[in-house]
Amino acid sequence: MRDVLGPDHLVRLWGAPEFEPRESPVGVGPWTAALRGGELAHIRYRGIELLRAIRVVVRDENWGTIEPVVEATAANDGSIDLVVRHVCGEVDFEWRGGIRFRDDRVEFFFDGVARAEFLRNRIGFVVLHPLEDAGREFTVTTPGGERRDIRFPVEIAPHQPARDIAALHWVRDQVAADLEFGGEIFETEDQRNWTDASFKTYGTPLAIPFPVRIAVGDRVAQSVTLRARSVEGVVVPSGASGTAAGRAVITIGPPLSADWLLPAIGIGGVSLVELDLGSAGWREVLEAAVEAARGGSSAHVHRRASHPLDIRLVVSEGFDDLDTAVGAVVESGATVALIGVFGSGHITTPSLWRELNDAIARQGLRTDLVGGTRAHFTELNRGVADLPPDLPALTFSITPQMHTVETEHVSDSIGAQRIVAENAMRLAAGRHVHIGPITLLPRFNAVATTPDAPVRSGDPRQHSEYLAAWTLASVAALAIPGVASLTYFSPDGPDGIRRAADVDASPAGVLLERLLGLAGDTVCAVEGELPDRLAVLAVRHGGALVVFVANFGAEERTIELRAGSQSCTLTVGAASCDEWITLGGE
């Protein structure tokens, strides 16, 4: 279907005139995989996925990923040769490498050279392990030959579960795998912290100081070898979905529980507004948000004529007067639902928390409070013990593009969002959690090593049909008991739900406006095996059952929905949403 669609239709669906990523099936004998540019993905031995991907990455001094440009590819009888170049700003690195399929192993190697002088935080292989490896036992071989047993964590690990790696060994579904590294020492981190759907094994260890200056002509060479063999008889693939190619049958059950409600839905910059108190224009930002909250220029993104504000104060270096900021909020006359404060490290420190509480008391502001981090779940997971113990609610934000930008990986992140929400509720220990802003691109660089590190703006998928489907899948993943609010995107512009303030909402904006009217409704059980890239959200709204279906994949899907004695069959196109409303359905 992809090949018969015209470029205009593809732009509407995906935000680009050509569907990405283009991939080619590769493999020999028992091995299958997909080649996506310079990445080897979905590496399977006799149908068992052992690795999600192997790729070479170049990360600049602020951890920005320099996108690869494949300059040459040659494939012949299980051998693939690559010439790849990473160029952006001062960075210019070129490598030549090869992928070799043998009956018992896959080899991936590269030898690269710097074409310019630049600062780097990482150059080398990263290996992505599937989510299904959570809880799996591994054995680590260190560079010195020592062997130790570990287990990939079930709960999201704040720090590296494995270090000092020369090789990893594990068994999955009667396949024994050995992963050997050359040219660097590796370690493993839990990428679910950033809603990546993977564990990642990478070099160079983070304990080694960075950034490092690379001179013209400096070389980097590494290798990865994956060996596999069958054990204990016949291999039986796991995880194969019987509904992937046919019709999925999904039953909508009763409400999951009395407290499983659809969270409040907000728009970044409208319902949730960040005031950077170190910038000259923070008062103007507050005034615009108050105007929108009262039904002004941006209010039509909300179904309600007016709405309360969630205000996040960002304290930069040199600003120590929270009384001024809280006083300005009081003087604005805004109805404030929540207020929080974050320091230069993007977290709520105990000292700032005390100052905020004192300022609120002095200024007479009546509101609920929230704290945590304005950055990723990572910062919450790593710093929760240092947060003020009396925080009444926690918060963090989400972006699916901390590490990779391809649509395939953005879609994969949906699988990690439910896990992140559940882990956030674990950390909250009975408190509410407010998630957001949830944005396609990062709002700022939380791990930069230089001030004013540039951030990307204007992802071409922002105003596409795909983003609406992705957003619905995100809401379905994050809407669990205890999550009180979900805030998405911004009002308008390249990262907003409209291209401009005076135009109609983009598909994601239309969806969010629809969901606004359902906030607080009970979420119903979704029973059955969903095909990959398909999400279902069902809520009980008065006497009606409202069922949303999101297809955030590249292939058309057919799904049969059953609710009590009623049923409906929907064929949902690629990158599309559909809705079924039925009375009763119990």
pTM across the whole model = 0.93
Helix or strand or coil: residue 242? coil
Predicted pLDDT of residue 492: 87
Are 297 and 378 contained in the same domain? yes
Predicted pLDDT of residue 14: 86
Q: What percent of the chain has pLDDT over 90?
A: 78
Are 546 and 514 contained in the same domain? no
Predicted pLDDT of residue 10: 83
Predicted pLDDT of residue 3: 45
CATH (domain of 351): 3.20.20
Residue pair 188/196 in contact by the 8 Å Cβ criterion? no
Q: What is the pLDDT of residues 286-322, one digit of tens each?
A: 999 998 888 765 444 444 446 899 999 999 765 668 9
Q: What is the mean pLDDT of the chain?
A: 92
Are 492 and 526 contained in the same domain? no
CATH (domain of 561): 2.60.40.1180
Residue pair 312/276 in contact by the 8 Å Cβ criterion? no
- What is the helix (H) or strand (E) element at residue 128, kind and residue range? strand 118-130
End-to-end CA distance of the chain: 37
| Domain with 223 in it | 2-230
Rg (C-alpha) for the chain, rounded Å, is: 25
Q: Is residue 28 part of a domain?
A: yes
Q: Is residue 235 part of a domain?
A: no
Q: Is residue 473 part of a domain?
A: yes
pLDDT bucket at 75, cuts 50 / 70 / 90: confident
Find, among 385, 467, 381, the residue nearest to 422 by Cα. 381
Beta-bridge partners for 578? 549
Are 461 and 566 contained in the same domain? no
Domain count, the chain: 3
Are 74 and 181 contained in the same domain? yes
CATH (domain of 186): 2.70.98.10
Q: What is the pLDDT of residues 452-468, one digit of tens each?
A: 788 888 899 999 999 99
Predicted pLDDT of residue 167: 99
Q: What percent of the chain has pLDDT over 70?
A: 93
pLDDT bucket at 244, cuts 50 / 70 / 90: very low
Are 360 and 489 contained in the same domain? yes
Predicted pLDDT of residue 158: 98
Q: Is residue 236 part of a domain?
A: no
pLDDT bucket at 15, cuts 50 / 70 / 90: confident
Are 495 and 581 contained in the same domain? no
Q: Is residue 157 part of a domain?
A: yes
For residue 516, give both structure tokens.
Answer: 């606004």
Q: Is residue 193 part of a domain?
A: yes
Q: What is the pLDDT of residues 436-455, one digit of tens each?
A: 999 999 998 888 888 778 88
Are 69 and 201 contained in the same domain? yes
Predicted pLDDT of residue 502: 78
Are 162 and 291 contained in the same domain? no
DSSP code of residue 77: T
State mean pLDDT over 402-429: 95
d(Cα 370, Cα 391) in Å, to the nearest integer? 6
Are 297 and 194 contained in the same domain? no
pLDDT at position 500 over 90: no
Q: Is residue 318 part of a domain?
A: yes
Q: What is the pLDDT of residues 342-357, one digit of tens each?
A: 998 999 999 999 999 9
Q: Which of these three, 462, 496, 520, is where a domain ends?
A: 520
Predicted pLDDT of residue 233: 60
Are 197 and 335 contained in the same domain? no
Q: Which of these three, 470, 489, 520, is where a domain ends?
A: 520
Are 143 and 170 contained in the same domain? yes
Predicted pLDDT of residue 306: 65
**Buried-state track 280-316, b at ≥16 Cβ within 10 A, e below 16:** eebeeebebbbebbeeeebbbbbbeeebbbbbbbbbe
Location of structure tokens 């000092």: 164
